[in-house]
Every structure is written in structure tokens, then in C-alpha cells.
Structure 1
């Protein structure tokens, strides 16, 4: 045992240590100090309690709202014949109704075929026979919808709803870009390198393809407001070169590499340099902006005379009329998973309010209609809203007409196999056995052909109250036969023709007139000019009659 002197020294020594350790909040040393004092004196030790550790701060979780993934798939909503899909592989896969068409896909349509593809609810396209396109850009999200279609060959028909803000929809060929804000239009890339752009309704700007490439580069410089404004002004100047409105077209010849093309390419290269070299010094970046401005002004000033704007030809008009059949489903179903498709980031699927219908008709010579629209083949598939009633008609020479209403049921596939019933063969005429006293048999009465055609070409035809076809009908009848033909089509006034067969072929033409309705438009202020389809139609107020179903654009 230690003496008192030693204990005093320990008191002093450990007292210092105790203070230091308490300040350091070391509990273990505090206990050691208590034990040391207990060994030196019989008096009760002074208990030293280490301060409790401070509680760890509680972090309040911050709610993170994930931005919804962009929709990057188109959807096959209608298919006649055969179409194929390619996405990053050399193999071509058959397309079917309900299949997805992701961005960067290439789609090819065979002869006597066509396919409709829908992008969200803001646009739909129809690829006509012998057409190939690539969906080079597709991104649909709240506040921004963008799509770019690369037309390699053939014809693409477009039905685009009104675009706003930063929305963008374009069709590009090897030489041209057609940009819209909401319209129905068609673009054809011909075998000889020309581009034909025709507008049914709305407004379309036509510019050199490289202008759209400059516009794409501007997306990568969003943090440079001055440069973005400069690039947008250059693009806008080119876009204003050729503006098409209702029932107008332009034919752009294959470009010849010349001074102007080189100048526009120089603008693109200058912008590209700014995008790829963002870490320039401020004075260097300002000098680069001035280069873009100077080159842009030179290219705009040297712009050649644009191709002349003209009224659509009959061929283009017939193409554009088919846009009426191009439906945009309000609630398209989620695309089906494809086993050949690569894995992609999922997006929120819309509510399924539609289902698929597949129809196959025999014989192959039949003309088939769905809701009075000529299908152009005997095998087709389509996506329709659940509960919709679709009228299927089929007509073929030598067969009874087929007409049936199909109600679209629950989500899934409804199939309809149609085998048309052949008309009975006429009984052969049996020649009577010759007899000396029997006079010669009466000759068969002559029959004469009656041909009926309607305008529009898909109007339904009734003969004496019985359906016999759409658009056209032909039959042979005895002279003196009285025939009553009725033609009708939704949106048109019905018409009737009664003919008496003469001793010669008879051609019957039935032309239907559109149902008209009056419309009045009032402008504020009262002195404002009113434009209809880009043409002045009045000041302050306008009243006119227009066909039911027409899309009118007033400004």
C-alpha cells in the first residue's frame, strides 16, 4: 500500500489526468481515476460521470421526384400486307399490329402494303407501298415532344396535332427538311433524287437538310443563350424561304454541290466547333460566335431562288386524301414486347383502352373495306378503341357480298376469318333432242353490260336496295331492265340513279356532294384581318359554308 505522500502525488497527478480526460469525454479513463483514489484513501471516492455523447443529427429525408422517362417507342396501329423492322442488326423482322417501333429503327414496306405508326397521341404516319424510313429521333415527355423521320425512299403521310413551345416534328430526305407546327402533309422521295412536299391542311416550312442539322446542334448549347438565339435566327431565316399552306406543293430537285451548299456546311461546322470545344476562353468563344454570325449572314444572302410553290397535282391530292384514314388513337395501348428487340429503359405505359382486330378474307380477288375505307388488300390488322363497332365489307365478282359489324371487346386480339360464298353457277342450257316436228328453240336474249362508278371512290352502292359494292359495280342485264342504284357515304349527301338497260353498254356515274354547314368567325378587334388557310377572307367577321369534317385554320 502506498503512503499518504504518494497518494498526494497521485492526487495531483491523476487529478490533472482526470480533468484532461473528462474534457476529452473518455469514459474509460474516468473509471481508472476513481479506482486510483480508492486505493489511496478510505474516504468514498468522488464519482466522475463522463458527459453523455451528443445525439447524432437526424437528417430529414428530401423527397426526390423522378422525372418521367420519355416515350421513345412508336406503335404499329394498322397494317395491310407486309412490313419489316430493323433496329441495330442486319436482320429484318416482320412487323405486326401492336409492335413497338423504337427510335433509331428502320421500317420497310413491301409492294401492295402499307403500315400506320403512332407516336404517343401527337402524331401518326402512314408508310405507303415501297417506302423505307428511319425514326432517327423520338422523345415524348411532358412539355416537349420531338420526332424526326428520315425518308430514304417512297412516301410518308403525316398527321400531326398542333405543336407548342419546344415541340418539333420533321421529315428529312437526302436534300430537304420539312418542319411543321401541326398539319397534315405528305413527303415523297423519288428515285431520281427529287423531294415532293404537299400540304393538305396547315403550314409546312421547306429548307435544305443541313439547316435541321444546325438546329440539332443548337440543342447541345442550351447554356449559351446568345449562341442559341443566333442559331435560331439563322434557322428561322432559312425556314421562311418556302412556306406551304393548304393544297400547295413544292418539288425540290436533287441538289448540286455548289457555293451555297458549302456556305451552309461552313455554318454547321462553326456551330459544331463551339459545341465540341466548350472550354474556350471568353474572348475566343465570342470570336467563334462572330464567325457563326458572319457565315450565317453570308449563307442567307447567297441563298438561291427557292423552288416555285404550286397547287397540288391530282396525284399528290389523292395521296393527301388518304390522310383522312390515318387515325390517331386517344389512348393507344402499350406496345407489345418483341423477343428480337434489345432491352431499353421502360417508360410509363398509357392506360390500355384499345384492342387489336385481325381480318383475313378469301378469295384473294376481294375488295375489302373497314368502316367504308378501302383497305387495299385481303389481309389487315388494326388497333381500335374498346367498344368500337367496325363494319367489315368484302366484294368480289362471282361471290355474294359480305357485310358484318364487329364489336371490339376486351384487350387482346379479335380475329375474323371471312370465306365469301360463291354465287351459284348458271344452269347449263340443254339443247333439246332434234325432232322432225319440233321447231327451233328461242335464242337466248342478249345481255348488255352496266358499269357504275362513284365519286368518292369508296361510296357504298345499293342495287334495288341490296348492297353490291363500293366505288364501282358491273353486271350484265337484258335490254329494257330497269335498275335503281343508290350511293351513300358518311359526310356526303346520298344520291340515286335509275337507268333502263339499252341495247348497248351503259356507264353510270354517281357523284356525291359533301354535306355543308355554315360557320361564322368574329375577330377582336373588329378591324382585324381574318385569314383562312393563309388567305385573306374578311375583316372583323367571316361567314361561309364548309364541308362537314374539313379542318379549317383561321388566323
Structure 2
């Protein structure tokens, strides 16, 4: 285990590391693993350095996070030194750590958005003030010197800190929560800009003391206490008293008359007494307490190592777990920066395979490809109906939805699902390998048929009819079927059309939606619509001509996979604050504001547009007047990205915490809700067939009874399924699988030459088109 102040940063595969440079072109080396099993191929990586002049610095970035500085916006990188006025947006698959030179640490959870309102540090004082738009931020603030200040504020609260570990949560509806692990935090039930008040006081010590008294009048939280600010009428009245007191302090700062300042001091004493009666703190729950204890014990990261090296790992199979010094660092792939010449121990493991352990070269760094060997197969007992599914492996940090390590017992496999012989060479360079190690050496049915009829082999189910050239990165979200061919969008935001018969590229269109994790193509007549984090555009499918293009600002960015909805000749475009109604050229015609925020793809039901707010309210909007017609309250929490499903007057949707909700649109009330096992984030469009509604999240398909919400079955998958008659077609690991919709029974499984990407396949004229992780797409014959 590495001890002391060690620079230990693990980054999702899609994250670009500042200063890493291009991979060298030297010949790869083969390393003999310590376990004596498997294979490790290494290529050297260049050393990297971080800036020596730093303040509050991004020291850990997992998944996607964006930095907005003035009028520019881009990906947040490890090593970025932040400035006053910067705004950070963490995606739903992300996590960010920021660290100050004094060791203070900020952890920004998924879905968090903060603004650095004040960031001042010199030899005398340090002043930090954050404004949280939404999400959850945990902080360990080092003991403050005299004159130092650290403040976090939301719409409904302001928390002043003096050396502590605490968490602040800002909900989209304006509610807030402050939890303290140790130390002391003063909480005001109003989102006051305390630094502005101190600015107005200036060098007037008496006026500054009034601001101190304002903080002292707030709720004083101590060890293991929390406070919930619910925005009810009583708390709103109390908030107005604080706002009035702040205005009086502003007046007193410009008028030094003693009576006025004494009056303000008396007013603050009265507010303090009322606050203590109306807002008592409560005991912190055990999970929150444990989390803050871990935060307090976290070692500071050394921001400026004398020399650093980059180490990356890619595994075969692509869902193996990566451990560094016994600590999980990723699944399938990881990249990290480490101090040069620091000993590390890497271990790669996956159920059904022999683990591999080795020591990477930290004198020069390296990019490692690790191939595991299958373990000896043992006869497994059949699963009983009551036996739960295999526990899923941890999903990779760089994608919202990735494959899980889950295989059925051997005697449950159909006869046509025999593992294929390895017939392809290993990948020439990491991190994306070309092939996977097979489970055994039994010949496939395809090989036997080809031997019988060598001149004119018959096309059999599972035959790969073509495989396209790889794109720059894997396809995401879904494939789409146009009249001319299959449309894909990759992580770099590039649109591509592949001809159905040959797989050749018909056209490509580059977009500004790079660093694309969640947004896919959407067919709209003879065009394809693609909206992402930076722009929305309409492209003609026949020749790739861009018909319309519109830049998206931060409030309308579709970072979570939201899609515009065609409406006659117009467009209905979701935003963070509701929906907008746009002309064919995407220019604004009207809008509907949803005060608590919204981030779903809208759908139509009869003559209404339907979406859901962050707080779970189903909202029906009249597209003619843009007026809200109806609200239906549910228990959902932050449903984002996907489009709800409407079946026979019932609306089905999921949220980021794994809750599926069914709402009767005819009766205007919730029918049922179900929390899925493991609380998976649900960001993909559900599908329905045979009395079931199916959701995909965290590498699993969940089938629910549409009338009751009862879980019928669950199974591992790399991407959402598509419906083909009475069957489901989906990818898992290095297989394309077919299962019965009714009960999930596996019908067939066909080997893929490469692990599947996290993009739903598409079925056209009896063939499945599936995306692979190397950026290629293949056409596979179905039964």
C-alpha cells in the first residue's frame, strides 16, 4: 500500500490527461505475470508533469465533468488550476475532487453543479465561497487561520465553516441539507451572499462584526448533526428575517451611527432566538456519518510530484476488475498518473478466469494490455427459480452503462451457444484490444457447415456478414435505422452512415458534441437529429448534408442524452428549466418553465407534451399555448435523459436512483412504483412487449409486469435491448444474445470478434447491427 502524500489519480478511459502526449511507437514488451497465468503486453508511456503554481486544483476526475470559464467551456482535466468565477458541471456518471494547497478537499458527486464565487488566497488570508446550483458537495476544510473564511451557499441556505468535515446537498426544488461530521458549521436558512456583505463592511471592524453576528444567529451544527431546510412557510418567513437583517447590515456599513448598529445587533439577537426554536438540528444518520469519517481520514494528494508517469491498463475480457495495491481502480480499463519510481502492485481479476498480478514499470510508465486465461470449467448445478441472479460486476467509471460479468450455469446454455475457437490475433496496441480469449476450444457449428460446403456456404444464424472499418471511438446510446443504412454516433460526436449491404461508410459529419457519453442519433423522416452537450443539428440521411444547426447554451445542453421531439414542422426541445417550442430552423417560438428543473426527453400523449421534473412530477403541457395543463406528483427523484413510455394510457419512466414509476394519464395519478435491486441509474428509453416493460441500467435489463410493477426477471447486458418479434436482441460481453421476452430464457448466443459497445443494436430485415468497442459495427444474421 502506498503511504504518505502520494499522487494517486485514476481517470476514466474517456478522460484526456493534460500533458500526457501521444503514445510512443516503440515495440511492445511481453511481461510474465507473477501468477504464471495470462499475458501482459506493455508499451512505454511518456512522463508527465503538473503545474507548479497551483491553488484550488482538480486532482481527480472520473467520468465526465465540464469547466465553464467566462464564455468558454470544455472538459475539466486533472491538474486544472481553478479561478474565481469558474463553473463546474459533473455529469451523472462523474465524480470530481478539488484540493487546496493547505490540504482542504472538495468532493463533487454525480449531477453536481457549482460556481466559485470567491477564490482568494495569499500569504495573509484565504477566502472561498461556493454557490451550489444542484447536487451534493462534501468538504474537508483544514483549520482556518484568523481572517480565513469558507462558505457554501445554495438557494435556501448559507453555511459558514471553521475547520470541519461536512456535506451540503442542493435539491432542484430549492431545498437544502447540511450534514456535519466534525467541527462546527453555522447555517443560515437563506442563500445570502456573505462575502458581498463582508466586502461592504470593508475595513470597518464594527460592520464586519455585524456580519459575524449574522452567522452566529444561524443554526450552529456540531459533530454528527444535520439540518434539513424544507422551504416550508415557517422557514420562508425566517429566511425573510435574515434577508431583512442583511439589508440592515448593508445600511449600517455605510452609516456609522451607533444607534443604528445597536438596533441591528438587537435584531440579530431576536432572530437567533427564533432560529433555535424553529430549526433544531438532528442526529446524523449512520451512512452519512461513516462517509464523512472516510473523508476526514483521506490522505491529501501530492499536487506537485518531482516526476510523474502515466500508467494505463486495458483488460481482456473487457469487464475484468482492476486493483492497484488492493484498491479497485476500474473495470475493463483505467488510466492514472503516479509518482515516478514508486512501487505499485496491479491485479486483474474476473469470475471464471485466472487472476493476473504484476508490477508495472514506474520508471518510465506504460500502457498495459492484460489478457486473462479462462479457469477450468466445473459442472454447475442448475439454478432454481428462487435463486437470485449473479451479482453484477462494478461498471466502468467512464460509461453510464457497461457490461457485467454474469454467466448462467453451464447446463442452462442452449446447444447452439458453444464458445468459439480463438481465430484472431491479439490487438497490436492498447487500450482497445481486437479479440477476447475464448472459453474453450470446441469448434463452432459455422465451421462444420463451411467444411461440408466450401464453395457456396449457406448463411447461418450467427454468421457475420460484414464488419465495418473502426471509427475514432465506440458508438454510444443506440444505433438508428435510416432508409439508406445504419446511423451511428461515437464518443467524439461524429455521425456516420454505413450501407446495409456492404458496411461501407456513406458519409460522416463531425459535430461539436465531443466527449459524447450519452447522446445518440434519432431518425426524423429523411433526416437524422443529433443533439448533445454543445449543439443540435439535423442531417440528411441520403448524403450527410447538414440541414440545420444550432448551438446550445448550458441551460439547454443535452449532456444526459435528452432528445428533441418532432411536432409537425416544428421541434419541442427539452432544457434544464422546462421545454421550448422551436421553428424548423430551431429558432425559439415559445417555452414552458418548470421551476424545479427538468432533464427528460418529452413524449406525446393525445394532444399533450409530457415530461417529468427533477422532483418527479409528471407535467402535461399544451403545445399550442405552452401552458402547463396538469401535474401528477410521484416519488421519483431526478428522472433524466430518457423518454417516458406510454402504453394504453399509462406512462412508465425511471429515475437516476433505480425507481420505476407508472402513472395513469387518464386518472391523473400514480399506479405503482418499484425500486430496482441495486438502485441502478435509468437513463435509456424503456421498451414494452408481452405485458412487460423493460428498463436498462448499470449493465442489467430489468423486466417488470406492466400492471403491477413486480420484477419478472433480470439479466446482464452491455446495452439496452431491442424487440424482435417475441424476442429480445441485446449484446453482453463478446456475445450477441437472443432471449424470450416472456421469461428471459436464452434462445441463442452468437460470438462477437470484439466486446460490444454500450450502444443498443438495431434489427433490420432479419439482421442485427451491433457496435463493438473498437469503433466498428457488424452485421450478424438472425434466425
TM range (shorter): 0.5 to 0.7
Listed as ranges, the matches of 1:417-436 within 5 Å are 417-423=368-374, 426=377
Structure 1 pair 418–474 and aligned structure 2 pair: CA distance change class (3 A)? same
Structure 2 partner of 1:118: 99
- 1:252 paired to 2:224: no
Which residue in the other structure is 2:171 paired with? Answer: 190
Q: How does 1:168-247 map to 2 (within 5 A)?
A: 168-210=149-191, 213-214=193-194, 216-238=196-218, 241-245=219-223, 247=224
Equivalent residue in structure 2 for 1:293, among 265, 275, 278: 265
Q: What's the CA shift for 1:381? A: 4.9
Q: 1:265 aligns with which of 231, 237, 243?
A: 243
Q: What corresponds to 2:126 in structure 1?
A: 145
Contact 1:176/1:207 (8 A) holds in 2: yes
Q: Secondary structure at the match of 1:268?
A: helix
Deviation track 1:486-540 (CA, whole Å, cap 9, x = no partner) reads xxxxxxxxxxxxxxxxxxxxxxxxxxxxxxxxxxxxxxxxxxxxxxxxxxxxxxx
Counterpart in 2 of 1:365?
A: 319
Alpha-carbon shift at residue 109 of structure 1 (Å): 1.5
Q: CA deviation at 1:176?
A: 1.6
Aligned match of 2:73: 92
Aligned partners of 1:149, 1:402: CA distance in 2, in Å?
A: 44
Label 1:234 to 1:130 Cα distance change in 2 as closer, same or farther (>3 A).
Answer: closer
2:275 is paired with a residue whose SS is coil
Q: 1:354 and 1:150, CA in 2 relative to 1: closer, same or farther beyond 3 A?
A: farther
Matched length: 343
Give, in angstroms, the shift of residue 305 of structure 1. Answer: 3.1
Q: Measured at CA, do residues 108 and 292 of structure 1 come closer, stay the same or move farther in structure 2, by a change above 3 Å? A: same
Conservation of the 8 A alpha-carbon contact between 2:137 and 2:167: yes
CA RMSD of aligned residues (A): 4.0
Q: SS at the partner of 1:99?
A: coil
Higher Cα Rg: structure 1 or 2?
A: 1
2:109 and 2:135 in contact (8 A); partners too: yes
Task: Provide the C-alpha distance between the structure 1 equivalents of 2:54 and 2:66, rounded to a whole number of angstroms.
Answer: 19
Q: Secondary structure at the match of 2:92?
A: coil
CA distance in 1, matches of 2:146, 2:275: 28
CA positional deviation for 1:123: 0.8
Hey, which of these two has a bigger chunk of helix by percent?
1
Change (3 A) 1:308 1:133: same
Describe the superposition over 1:396-451 as per-residue Cα deviations: whole angstroms up to 9, x where unpaired.
Answer: 334432434446558xxx45444342416859xxxxxxxxxxxxxxxx68589999
Distance 1:230 1:113, change over 3 A: closer
Change (3 A) 1:262 1:139: same
Q: 1:80 to 1:227 in 2, by over 3 A?
A: closer
TM-score by length of 1: 0.53
Note the C-alpha offset of 1:77: 1.2
Instruction: Give the Å deviation of 1:165.
Output: 1.0
Please state if 1:320 is matched with 2:292: yes
| Helix, strand or coil at the partner of 1:187 | strand
- 1:258: Cα distance to partner? 4.1
Structure 2 residue runs without a partner (length 5+): 1-52, 395-404, 411-783
Partner of 1:310: 282
> Aligned residue for 2:64?
82
Superposed displacement of residue 156, structure 1: 1.5
Cross-structure match for 1:353: 306
The whole-number CA distance in structure 2 between the counterparts of 1:371 and 1:200 is: 28
